[in-house]
Chains A and B, each alone.
Chain A
Amino acid sequence: MTTAHDHFTKPRPLTVLTHAAFLTGRLMRVLRRMPAFLVIGLVQPVIWLLLFGQLFSSVVDLPGFTHAGGGFLEFLTPGVVMMTALFASAWAGTTYLQDIDRGVMDRMLTSPASRGAMMIATMTYQAIQTLIQSVIIVIIAVAAGARFLGGVAGVGITLLAAVLLTLTFSALSNAVALLTRQQATLIAISQFTTLPLMFLSSAVMDLGLAPGWVGGVADYNPVEWAVVAARDSMGTHTDWTTVWVHLGRLAMAALVMGLLSTRAFRTYRKQA
């Protein structure tokens, strides 16, 4: 019965990516059938963008507000893009919870699909949603009168930063889902982390006008890294070193979080 054990070695990277593509395809079909979620997820950020953009348009005139790239709408847009990415990816674990609930998770776990492929698939699915939503937000901002001097390159960097932020937090959310298996816990942890992360960054306010400690904390906040990379690349006089350093940190965070979350499958198995 010991059939050709030598054929079965560790899954090759190619297999992992192929499996990830199949599993992403499954999730994308769901999105195509129920695009409403994508639209609903845009309601809040668009309100932020248009309402806050108008309401606080004069804060750029405050002494010490150092943003040089134009008005408050130009300042706010990268912040709103990152907020949208953050809030949406904090919910990413819901897909796992539904799969656990329906038994799909157990079927996948007894198939040859590797845990890495399963993690990559949900992260990719979330990243694609972020891409679509971010493009829509930028288009709405431009339609509302924003002018981004960084041009296409600036928008491209913004999208990249948003995707990396999404990968980081969707991996975290997946880990929480696997470890707790509770929707209520996932919601609570999402809410307790996303709002502070947002306000401990320059997403909606120049940190030059905030207390010093906020800026200190923000240096370690992935949301701030994404906002800085995006805002700097979208304005004039882009400091590319700053942009790449922040993107590099984000990429590291996404990688580390992805690997840690894949390890969470072990705990899931122990509790099975």
Chain B
Amino acid sequence: MGAAHVADPAVEAVDLVKSYPAGRNKPRITALRGLSFSASKGTVFGLLGPNGAGKSTTVKILSTLSAADSGSARVAGIEAAARPDQVRRVIGHVSQKSGTDPMGTATENLLLAGRLHGMSRRDAMARARELLNRFGLADAANRLVRTYSGGMARKLDVALGLMHRPQVLFLDEPTTGLDPHARSEMWAEIARMARGEQMTVLLTTHYLEEADHLADRLAIVDHGTVVAVGTPNELKSGLRGDAVHIELRQADSRAFAVLRTVPGLRDVTMDGSTLRGRTDDGARALPPVLAALEEAGMAVTSATLARPSLDDVYLRHTGHSFDADAAPKALEVPK
């Protein structure tokens, strides 16, 4: 992944390796095996991957919560392992878990965060008001956070990360656990603040749609390494042509061989009763595909043509479908 470097990176990870003890007499769990990427200043960079791919571990190392076994993590030009105190001054960190104090009000939470970053009381108060207004929390500003809904608390989390106008904001799974409505609100807010504030956002997510929607560039993370980097469009056009997606009434192992014989159809894969392939011209390729399957006596329940999605990109680079990997979470993924 050496080609992934960009000029003037705000966040840079080079060959990060990290393993955890798994317990007595068990081999260590390797979370990161040489993960590298770099994010340009002023952009939203996405780390996309299923749970356990190593996204959060990467964010923990970059935000100084954890130390890598080897490799280098630089934030705003500062080496995180050498000068964690300096890194902490220039970052905002919104972790997967909420970081709000439930026994304080929103205003108190924000003021404390601002004051710890050396803001004067007056500046901190003005900034807190601004953020509370922006996130639609002004009416609840003086309520204890424990009375907040999940969506409100998550917005306050992001506001806390923004309080001191960080150069780099880490958003670790910002919409996990939010209902679809709260999620789209959060997306709008992240998109707006990425434009409004002069900062770099490092976003981790296991929602393909979220990465597609928010990230200027993204890295697909699988088993502790980056398997592909680019803008969402670059990654999708790298696949060339349209995706053909066939659902059979019932799984049939012969279907794979049948489709392989259709001219113009590439990259055929089969997963149960689902068949996928690519073609330069979907409209022309579909009739022979259907004809071939009918000839072999296999009933087709649906056939779709689509521009490549990130799901296809993911499949191409990791060799397994994103949904299948995140199976327990599949119900949560908005389609």
Instruction: List residues of A whose CB falls within 8 A of some B CB.
Output: 1-3, 5, 8, 10-11, 19, 22-23, 25-26, 29-30, 33-34, 102-104, 106-114, 269-270, 272
Contacts and interface: CB of A to CB of B under 8 A. Distances in A.
A165 to B, nearest CB: 27
Contacts of A106: 65, 93, 95, 97, 99
Contacts of B116: 19, 22-23, 108, 111-113
Nearest to A117: B116
Tell which of A11, A25, A26, A114 has the most Cβ of chain B within 10 Å.
A26
Contact of B99 (A33, A102, A112): A102
Given A2-B77, A109-B65, A110-B64, 5 more contacts: A3-B90, A23-B112, A102-B100, A111-B117, A112-B117
Q: Say whether chain A's binding surface is mostly helix, strand, loop, or mixed.
A: helix
A193 B225 CA distance: 47
B99 A272 contact: no
Given A1-B10, A269-B65, A102 B60 contact: no
A24 B108 CA distance: 13
Interface stretch (B81-89, B203-211, B233-241, B242-250): B81-89
Interface residues of B, number: 40
Contacts of A108: 116
B93 A5 contact: no
A71 B293 CA distance: 101
B36 interface: no
A112 B84 CA distance: 9
B93 A110 contact: yes
A8 B108 contact: no
7 contacts: A102-B97, A102-B102, A103-B98, A107-B160, A110-B65, A111-B116, A112-B85
B288 interface: no
A3 B67 contact: no
B103 interface: yes
Contact of A1 (B60, B77, B83, B99): B77
A26 B97 contact: no
Contacts of B115: 22
Nearest to A114: B85
A222 B315 CA distance: 63
Interface in B104-137: 104, 108, 112-113, 115-118
Q: Nearest 4 A-B pairs (CB), nearest first?
A: A103-B97, A1-B77, A107-B99, A110-B93
A270 B104 contact: no
A3 B97 CA distance: 31
A107 B117 contact: no
A269 B88 CA distance: 14
Contacts of A1: 8-10, 41, 76-77
A30 B103 contact: yes
Interface string B46-84: 000000000000001001111100000000111000010
A102 B98 contact: yes
Given A2-B77, A22-B115, A22-B116, A110 B98 contact: no
A178 to B, nearest CB: 13
Contact of B67 (A5, A34, A112, A269): A269
Contacts of A10: 85
A259 B105 CA distance: 32
A10 B84 CA distance: 11
Tell which of A1, A33, A104 has the most Cβ of chain B within 10 Å.
A1
B86 A8 contact: yes
A71 B95 CA distance: 58
A272 B41 contact: no
B104 A8 contact: no
